[in-house]
Structure 1
């Protein structure tokens, strides 16, 4: 092997080694709402006798995630409040009214993350951020578990998470009194992202 080839080979090996030792970079994902592999669900007690459950049918968002450095992750989600669906058309019409969500004036709820804390060995973490709805912005913390990640059958790459939080709507200015058993709402977010 002549000197030029030896130098070229040495440079190639050095470059490959340098690339191999670089820290992993966070990948960007879009939430798979098109394939309906994500959901925003809620539950609230009805008079203390049962649970009323439902979901928001229209939302969008994206996030960045690196399994090697989950604390650097970020997520943004926008929910169309008028898309609320409790499986009862007349009730949903009332929920959209000024008595409850007032969706004519407050069309969206927006969550923007501010940080990740308490990362666990199985990939779970606390997702901190600001939730804006009804003209008010409040900090919240969502307990998140990692469902899994890997290649999909169509040549893409996916990662999924599930999050849960209980909030008090009155803290965002919702004042309709449903009784003491209904002062809080449980929210579940199931997010499957497709790597861009």
Structure 2
């Protein structure tokens, strides 16, 4: 995944914000066919809240993503990934993130996928204050094997490069 070395960070006003699911998304890129092919897709954001505090390190983020919203444009692939072989969305409908540490350039916390919780750090690439809140873009790399998503080793990429774009509106 290409990322710009430039970073724009703007800290929004103190207070509570809701993540707007209609204007937020999680994009991903991974590989298939032993790393020869690229797969791009999205997940839909279900809900989230952000509390911007002073100092910034006292801020908190919580977000939920709809696991069944996994979409790559290939109906067969999408059904397979939603199945018990991969995400098991019938038993684990939500991917959840809860922050533990926030600063101007990163958000670290615990991600839960398929009932397995582990650490992730999102690097803030952009943030901008808007008329009704703020918009943030952050990236991370997730090792699916560390989260119990172990189907089709070799055939399916081990890592997902994620880009989270969240639009947050003041409560």
TM-score (normalised: structure 2)? 0.84
Gaps of at least 5 residues in structure 2 are 1-12
Measured after TM superposition, the shift of residue 158 of structure 1 is 1.6
**1:52 paired residue among 39, 49, 64:** 39
Aligned to 2:73: 87
Q: CA RMSD in A?
A: 2.0
Question: Is 1:162 the equivalent of 2:137?
Answer: yes
Gaps of at least 5 residues in structure 1 are 1-24, 120-124, 152-156
Task: Determine the C-alpha separation between the residues in 1 that align with 2:159 and 2:125.
Answer: 22
Task: Determine the C-alpha separation between the residues in 2 that align with 1:128 and 1:29.
Answer: 18
Measured after TM superposition, the shift of residue 58 of structure 1 is 4.5
CA 1:163/1:83 → structure 2, altered by over 3 Å: closer, same or farther? Answer: same
- Richer in strand (by share): 2
Measured after TM superposition, the shift of residue 109 of structure 1 is 0.9
The 5-angstrom pairing of residues 9-28 of structure 1 reads 26-28=14-16
Aligned to 1:177: 152
Retained in 2: the 8 A contact 1:26–1:73? no
Aligned to 2:20: 32
Question: Is 1:142 the equivalent of 2:117?
Answer: no
TM-score (normalised: structure 1)? 0.74
Number of corresponding residues: 159
Runs of 4+ displaced beyond 6 Å: none
Measured after TM superposition, the shift of residue 83 of structure 1 is 1.3
Retained in 1: the 8 A contact 2:41–2:71? yes
Aligned to 1:132: 112
Retained in 1: the 8 A contact 2:19–2:47? yes
Task: Determine the C-alpha separation between the residues in 1 that align with 2:55 and 2:155.
Answer: 42
Q: Secondary structure at the match of 2:76?
A: helix
Q: Secondary structure at the match of 2:78?
A: helix
